[in-house]
């Protein structure tokens, strides 16, 4: 059987796997699992991998458990069932990311690890696109014409392709901390090739941030929002968090 194909960008899977390379081996849930490409990477690293997806018919990894589950609802697992949960290319496709992160907290054991990704709508290029266009490249208006084009391009997988929730660094961190997680580190998938062109503007943004009082910067995560991972980052932000 042909190996499953990554529905997410390969760099996202590579980063997620690198985060977990040194982690203690145990039970991992990959949700949404897509065809099973990331699950296969994690199995090769020695993890006991379980998978979940709304569209189980697309799953192609043999001898691996796959359950149907909706990130907008209760996931079909017991409390504390997993040591690690990995959710890449998931939160931006659902109506209620808050529910998903609460569910991750429920099914993770205390001290467990969550790796979750979202499109990086806060890098300098996307900030400029929002300023001039009123939307970012990851979250374009879902007009009737746009939806028709997506259906033609993706067919039965059209719903999987829709980005409906523009969730960024601040929202993800807030939801993580609200659900009892501690954010350990933020990663980019890969640097953008043309980021050098924005360096003068990035310097101005960082200078303006440094002129803000330290107490206000801390309260509003100003330094984090203007970090290289976010401001000069690539298309995706990946978060590593620990359940307290």
Report, as an integer, the average pLDDT of 68-82: 97
The chain-wide mean pLDDT, for the chain, equals 93
Task: Provide the pLDDT for residue 196.
Answer: 86
Tell me which residue range forms the domain holding 153. 10-121+140-195+235-243
**Would 104 be classed as within a structural domain?**
yes
In-domain check, residue 21: yes
**How many structural domains compose the chain?**
1
**Predicted pLDDT at 210:** 93
Task: Please tell me the predicted confidence (pLDDT) of residue 160.
Answer: 72
Check residue 221 and give left, alpha or beta (phi > 0: left; psi -120 to 50: alpha): left
Is 75 a member of any domain?
A: yes
Q: What's the pLDDT tens digit per position in 207-221?
A: 999 999 999 999 999
- For the record, the structure tokens of 185 come out as 């580190």
Residue 166 falls within a domain, yes or no? Answer: yes
DSSP, collapsed to helix, strand or coil, labels residue 49 as strand
Residue 2: pLDDT band (50, 70, 90) is low
User: What integer is the mean pLDDT of 139-150?
Assistant: 89
**pLDDT for the residue 1:** 54
Which phi and psi angles does 72 have, rounded to 5°? -85, 0
pLDDT for the residue numbered 8:
72
Residue 219 lies in a domain: no
Q: Which residue has the tokens 């760099």?
A: 11
76 compared with 155, residue with greater pLDDT: 76
Q: What is the pLDDT of residue 4?
A: 78
What digits encode the pLDDT tens for the residues 105-143?
Answer: 999 999 999 999 999 999 999 999 999 999 999 898 989
Task: Indicate whether 48 belongs to any domain.
Answer: yes
The answer to the question of residue 19 being in a domain is yes
Cα–Cα distance measured from residue 135 to residue 215, given in angstroms and rounded to the nearest whole number: 31
**Is the pLDDT at 194 greater than 90, yes or no?**
no
Q: What is the pLDDT of residue 74?
A: 98
212 found inside a domain: no
CATH number of the domain to which 40 belongs: 3.40.50.150
Query: Which are the contacts of 135, defined by CB distance < 8 A and separation ≥ 6?
Result: 129, 141
Q: Closest Cα to residue 164, out of 229, 71, 231, 232?
A: 71
What three-state secondary structure class fits 87?
strand
Question: What are the start-end ranges of the E strands in 72-222?
Answer: 82-87, 108-119, 181-188
The predicted model scores a pTM of: 0.93
3-state SS class at 118: strand
Confidence of residue 3 (pLDDT cuts 50, 70, 90): confident
């Amino acid at each position: 059987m042909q190996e499953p194909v990554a529905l997410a960008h390969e760099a996202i899977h590579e980063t997620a796997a690198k985060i977990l390379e040194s982690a203690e081996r145990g039970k991992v849930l990959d949700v949404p699992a897509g065809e099973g490409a990331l699950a296969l990477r994690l199995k090769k690293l020695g993890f006991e991998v379980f998978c979940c997806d709304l569209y189980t018919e697309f799953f192609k990894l043999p001898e691996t458990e796959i359950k149907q589950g909706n990130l907008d609802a209760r996931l079909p697992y017991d409390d504390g069932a997993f040591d690690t949960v990995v959710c890449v290319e998931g939160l931006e496709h659902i109506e209620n990311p808050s529910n998903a992160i609460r569910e991750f907290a429920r099914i993770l054991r205390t001290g467990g690890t969550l790796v979750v990704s979202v499109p990086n709508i806060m890098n300098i290029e996307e900030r400029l696109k929002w300023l001039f266009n009123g939307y970012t490249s990851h979250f374009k208006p879902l007009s009737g014409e746009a939806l028709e084009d997506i259906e033609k391009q993706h067919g039965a997988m059209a719903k999987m392709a829709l980005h409906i929730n523009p969730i960024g660094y601040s929202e993800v961190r807030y939801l993580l901390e609200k659900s009892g997680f501690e954010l350990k580190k933020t990663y980019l998938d890969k640097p953008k090739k043309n980021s050098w062109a924005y360096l003068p503007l990035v310097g101005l943004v960082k200078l303006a941030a440094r002129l803000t009082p330290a107490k206000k910067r801390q309260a509003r995560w100003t330094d984090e929002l203007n970090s290289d991972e976010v401001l000069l980052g690539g298309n995706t932000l990946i978060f590593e968090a620990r359940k307290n």
